[in-house]
A and B are shown apart, each in its own frame.
Chain A
Amino acid sequence: MKKVATISILLVLYAAYSSWIYTSGTAIAATMTTEAMRGKQLWQRLNCQTCHQLYGLGGYMGPDLTTVITDKGRGAAYARGMMLSGGRQMPNYHLSVQDADMLLAYLSYVNGTQSR
């Protein structure tokens, strides 16, 4: 009986914690524009996270891109150039300018969520 009670308490706590995480625990002010949303879809379709992390989630072959837009020494123009023509290890996806801009809009949105 004690075991069943322990597990029930844990399950209730888990459910409560999960619903808090799904709502106010992760509420932020920034909103996503349509362009950023399209950029996110593209990001997923092209599987950019195989090499890049956003907030630490993703593969490690390439750099974390969470703050690529505001970082000193990187910035939007640099990011755009890299996306359009690739780098030493970064593949050249032969993206159209529109696609690169959508990806950039997504990365700018991500960068803007840095502080709550």
Chain B
Amino acid sequence: MSTALNHDNPNTMKQKAIANRFIVLGFACLLLSISFGLIASFKYLIPNFPDDILSFQHTRPLHVFLAVSWIFAAVTGIIYRYIPDISGRPLYSVPLAKTHFSLQLATIVIAVSGFFTGHFSGREYLEFPPWITVIIILYWIMFVTNFVLTVKPVLKTAPVYVWMWCTGLLFFLITIVEANLWLLPHFNNNIVRDITVQWKANGSMVGAWNMLIYGSTMFAMQQITGDSKMGYNKISFAFYFLGLTNLMFNWGHHTYVVPAHPAVKQVAYIISMTELAFLANIMLNWRANFSKKPIEAYRLSFLFFRAADIWVLLNLILAIAISIPYINQYTHGTQITVAHAMGATIGINSLLLMGSVTFLFEKQMKSKWNKTILRGLRAIHVSLLFFWISLIGAGVMRAVALYQHYYFAQVSKRMLPFLQLFSMSGIFLAIGIGVVSYMFIKVISSHISI
């Protein structure tokens, strides 16, 4: 089994090209997502911001959907790039991957045009019309088929990152179906069931994409640090199983306020406290991890992964705090949840994905490009900190004001300074993400035909 990446093997040009296309699609979605996110946040800076086609009802779903599309397209491309190297044989079917790409692209185009013309499912996070799910499931099955038939020879002795990918692939399918159970009256006619199942599906879907992303990160880190045992050691597997348990059962901390059976809360609380083990692991290994030296050729990707580590730590502390029922009672339904979601999707997911992409192309990048990307990374890192803190600040204000039974207009007034800081730091964050995305699109398209 070969786990070394061979960047120049001409036999793999075709499969690389299709994988790269997914990555470019991902960055294009990211650029669009941050543009709509910025427009949406202007509503806080300029209350009279034009309200027609770019109203908040349009821009928020566009922003969220495209952010999720970025994550899935990028991680799909990254996995398509890695698996031939892991299994030591070509991708099972390039035409299948091409069909997958066309369907995924079509889904994005259809959903986005639907949002512009006001076609919503009206469901949180998955706001596109439900029939689109059928296409998503179809292309996902193509992806699973290609994945399994490519890595088949190594499945028996698979390293932990292959387990993580398998888990992510399976649970995405389960959760996308679960997210559509509301179409059945049994779920739709009972709001408590509907909301609980929605949180469950959405929460575990995030767990599924985390599995895909963390698996990819681990594979890259193994190459970057030259630590080939990382994928096989017992601790890695122990944390994988803990991660899986969290994926399955940790969604419940979102539902403390939902009047489902009290046991749902108890299960959620117990499981969310197992996250302390992740925290302890990071803290204990912090110095050791930071003093690890990357192979010289992968310095930039190493920096992306290290930056993400800081966000893992901050978000984990926040997640554990808001999982404590006493605290959750005040913070739920406030911008603190947004801070948690955005801190994780930008600080962790996006930086890890960017790290993996850097890892794939770093050897071919000109040093002046490296410098620009590094500046972009710095801009993201610093502005995200302000962005994150301002959301927490706004959330605290909202919690306090609502606790004192203020009218919502008064609540808004109290939150305003924080929301303005949020919008301002959002501008810098968007510049950082914009620069990095633009540079990667340039790097990828200049080296390999897409």
A residues near B (Cβ < 8 Å) are: 3, 6-7, 10, 13-14, 17-18, 21-22, 24-28, 31-32, 37, 40, 43-51, 53-64, 66, 72-73, 87-89, 91, 109-110, 113-116
Contact = CB atoms under 8 A, between A and B. Distances in A.
A44 B126 CA distance: 12
Contacts of A6: 241
Given A51-B57, A55-B255, A66-B257, 9 more contacts: A10-B245, A21-B197, A22-B197, A28-B192, A32-B189, A51-B56, A56-B255, A57-B124, A73-B405
5 nearest CB pairs, A to B: A44-B122, A26-B193, A47-B120, A63-B408, A14-B248
A13 B267 CA distance: 12
27 contacts: A3-B163, A7-B241, A10-B244, A10-B245, A14-B248, A17-B267, A18-B200, A21-B193, A21-B196, A21-B260, A22-B186, A25-B263, A26-B192, A26-B193, A27-B193, A40-B188, A44-B121, A44-B123, A49-B122, A50-B57, A55-B191, A57-B124, A57-B195, A59-B124, A60-B335, A89-B43, A110-B191
B333 A59 contact: no
A57 B198 contact: yes
Contacts of A49: 122-124
B259 A114 contact: yes
A115 B255 CA distance: 14
Given A62-B408, A73-B405, A113-B191, A24 B261 contact: yes
Contacts of B120: 44-45, 47
Contacts of A61: 43, 56, 60
B35 to A, nearest CB: 18
- The listed residue with most B CB atoms (<10 A of its CB), out of A59, A114, A115, is A59
Given A22-B197, A72-B405, A50 B56 contact: yes
B343 to A, nearest CB: 15
A8 B195 CA distance: 28
A73 B181 CA distance: 36
B68 to A, nearest CB: 15
A26 B260 contact: yes
- The listed residue with most A CB atoms (<10 A of its CB), out of B257, B407, B409, is B257
A43 B57 CA distance: 13
Interface residues of B, number: 60
Nearest to B59: A50
B333 A56 contact: yes
A28 B259 contact: yes
A89 B241 contact: no
B100 interface: no
A25 B61 contact: no
Given A10-B241, A47-B122, A57-B124, A17 B193 contact: no
Contacts of B398: 60
Nearest to B240: A3
B159 to A, nearest CB: 12
Contact of B237 (A3, A26, A50, A88): A3
A17 B248 contact: yes
A47 B127 contact: yes
Contacts of A64: 333
A27 B197 CA distance: 12
Given A21-B196, A44-B122, A56 B258 contact: yes
A2 B196 CA distance: 33
A21 B264 contact: yes
A83 to B, nearest CB: 14
Contacts of B248: 10, 13-14, 17
B55 interface: yes
Given A21-B264, A61-B43, A88-B409, A28 B190 contact: yes
A109 B241 contact: no
- The listed residue with most B CB atoms (<10 A of its CB), out of A3, A49, A91, is A49
A74 to B, nearest CB: 9
A112 B237 CA distance: 46
A106 B61 CA distance: 23
A81 to B, nearest CB: 14
A7 B247 CA distance: 13
